[in-house]
Structure 1
Amino acid sequence: MIINSLAGIKHGNSSNFFLMAGPCAIEGEEIALRIADRIVHITDKLNIPYIFKGSYRKANRSRVDSFTGIGDEKALKILQEVKNTFGVPTVTDIHESHEAEMAAHYVDVLQIPAFLCRQTELLVAAGKTGKVVNIKKGQFLSAESMQFAVDKVIETGNDKVILTDRGNTFGYQDLIVDFRGIPVMKSFDVPVVMDCTHSLQQPNQSTGVTGGKPALIETIAKAAIAVGADGLFIETHPDPANAKSDGANMLHLDLLEELLVKLTRIREALL
């Protein structure tokens, strides 16, 4: 299946993987444009189809005082500006069904957070917009069970679906990645993405701030490409330690190009 509305984002016959990357949350116009400019430069050089990622609002936070956003409309307009400035598609999360139509005016891909991947009303609302729908696999679900999430979107008449793995809950404060899930989900005839940063989260820490293991991003990404992932999802920031959301598991922007060079070589070896 080819997602026709996103040039270069293909399943099965693409010569390279595609990349969803950007900051966890939209923190402001200047930093969003700076991150996008850097990633566009890198992906153009390496011939990697690129989708800019940024959450316009963070609804799932551990603590009530955690950063949630700069304002919905303001953040969505920044995502639109990234698209218009660099000519790349954009993706953002939605959390409730009424957000789908609003966000669809500004972005190309609507992302369903992992915790919400069973929410029928949300999946149907996203599907009805006609936009590409990226569904993150719940940490609590098997790869096989994601067929039902795909079906909910397809039954709206929208077959533009991506599935993204982000690891499985392991105990209370860790995640593990079962790479068997990638070929399983590819069998549903949709592109499958590996989220290389959220799969390294360490949730539910005693401080109320999620931890992470960013040193293993390269390991997860290499393995995902090796087993046939169509795309990668990587949150990246020029200063992760001071990012307003999920800094503990983000890749430093300065490390992105070297990583992508290695991954394109693995991809080439598999063709």
Structure 2
Amino acid sequence: MEQFLKDAFANQQYDEKNFFLIAGPCVVESEELVMEVADKVFGICKKLGIPYIFKASYRKANRTSGSSFTGLGDELGLDLVAKTGKHFQLPTTSDIHSAIEAPLAAEFVDVLQIPAFLCRQTDLLVAAAETGKIVNVKKGQFLNGPSMKFAVEKIQKAGNNKIILTERGTTFGYQDLVVDYRNIPWMKDHGVPVVMDCTHSLQQPNQTSGVTGGNPQLIGTIAKAAIATGADGLFIETHPNPAVAKSDGANMLRLDLLEGLLEQLVKLRKAVI
């Protein structure tokens, strides 16, 4: 594990041979929700020796429909993410969508996440890099793993070597994504940790309803294949009741299913390393 990740997980006891987990609800819906999810996931990860980064978006800027929920307000959302991390002594992450958001979000979170559609935005990557925070770049649905070297180079040239790359599927057709697992070793060749986004890779975007669909029943399949092909970490959005979630409910994992899945993945990780 890279030193910058060891530093991020300094307050946790974990098995260094395990994958790390980025998990939480898609968006900050309420203080009660983020605390409930963090408490449950943290307890599971502590039990299984998995290093854990809490995730929740303080704002959702990339909604299909203009009527979709986007957040409680930037500062309130960020404050609740930070409060959750402080309460459980966890590193935290949230996505940013423009260069001017980077310094604001960096005051509250430990990892700045770059959405897949924005992975080529040079000003955004540079602004994130200049905060000195860990930068997690999601691979664009329109790119392959080797081409992500340019995102890595932009961040490095801005003076930041704390970089994670995340695979989240490739678009084939108008309303589906396909995961090409060659991208995991290809992106590891860039010398950075690679994460598999097990929930967004199962999205079915561009639905005529204006709400993205998904195939959450395949989250376990995506996760197991990612561990088998060498992913360093997993990204899983989870919610106590995805059916009533205010964002991405169609592809989130139900919270009570997480422990059983992680138990299987820990066993698989031990078998393949």
Query: Smaller-chain TM-score range?
Result: over 0.9
Whichever residue aligns with residue 77 of structure 2, its letter is A
Measured in 2, the distance between the counterparts of 1:202 and 1:100 equals 29
Letter in 1 for 2:209: T
Amino acid at match of 1:53: K
Residue 51, structure 1, aligned to residue 35, structure 2: no
Deviations 1:33-71 (A, max 9, x none): 010000000000000000000000000000000000001
Give the number of aligned pairs.
Answer: 268
Report the RMSD for the aligned CA atoms in angstroms. 1.2
CA contact (8 A) 1:8 1:14 kept: no
| Distance in structure 2 (CA, Å) of the matches to 1:99 and 1:177 | 30
The 5 A counterparts of 1:172-183 are 172-183=174-185
TM-score normalized by the length of structure 1: 0.97
- Tell me by how many angstroms 1:14 deviates: 3.8
SS of residue in 1 equivalent to 2:184:
helix
AA paired with 1:241?
A: A
Contact 2:53 2:93 in 1 (8 A): yes
Query: Is the Cα–Cα contact under 8 Å of residues 6 and 89 in structure 1 kept in the other structure?
Result: yes
Which amino acid in the other structure matches residue 2 of structure 1?
Q
- Structure 1 residues 212-257: Cα deviation after superposition (integer angstroms, max 9, x where no partner): 0000000000000000000000000001000000000000000000
1:170 & 1:257 partners in 2: Cα distance? 32
Correspondence for 2:244 among 232, 236, 242: 242
Deviations 1:60-99 (A, max 9, x none): 0000000000010001000111111000000000000000
Kindly report which structure 2 residues correspond to 1:45-124, keeping only aligned pairs within 5 A, or say none.
45-124=47-126
| Partner in structure 2 of residue 30 of structure 1 | 32
**CA separation in 1, counterparts of 2:10 and 2:169?**
26
AA at the equivalent of 1:217 = I
What is aligned with 1:135? 137
Whole-angstrom CA distance in 1 between matches of 2:9 and 2:25: 22
The one-character-per-residue Cα deviations of 1:144-188 (angstroms, maximum 9, x if unpaired) are: 100000111111111000000000001000000000000000011
Structure 2 residue 230 is the aligned partner of structure 1 residue 200: no
For 1:14 and 1:119, how far apart are their aligned partners in 2?
33
Shift of 1:8: 6.2
- Is 2:3 aligned against 1:2? yes
Name the CA distance, whole Å, in 2 between partners of 1:80 and 1:103: 10
| Structure 1 residue ranges without an equivalent (≥5) | none
CA distance in 2, matches of 1:73, 1:55: 12
CA contact (8 A) 2:9 2:90 kept: no
Q: Secondary structure at the match of 2:33?
A: helix
Q: Judge conservation of contact 1:97–1:125 (CA < 8 Å) in 2.
A: yes
Give the share of equivalent positions with the same residue, in percent: 63
- State the 1:5 CA deviation: 3.6
Give every structure 1 segment of 4 or more consecutive aligned residues whose post-TM-superposition deviation is greater than 4 Å: none
* Unaligned segments of structure 2, at least 5 residues: none
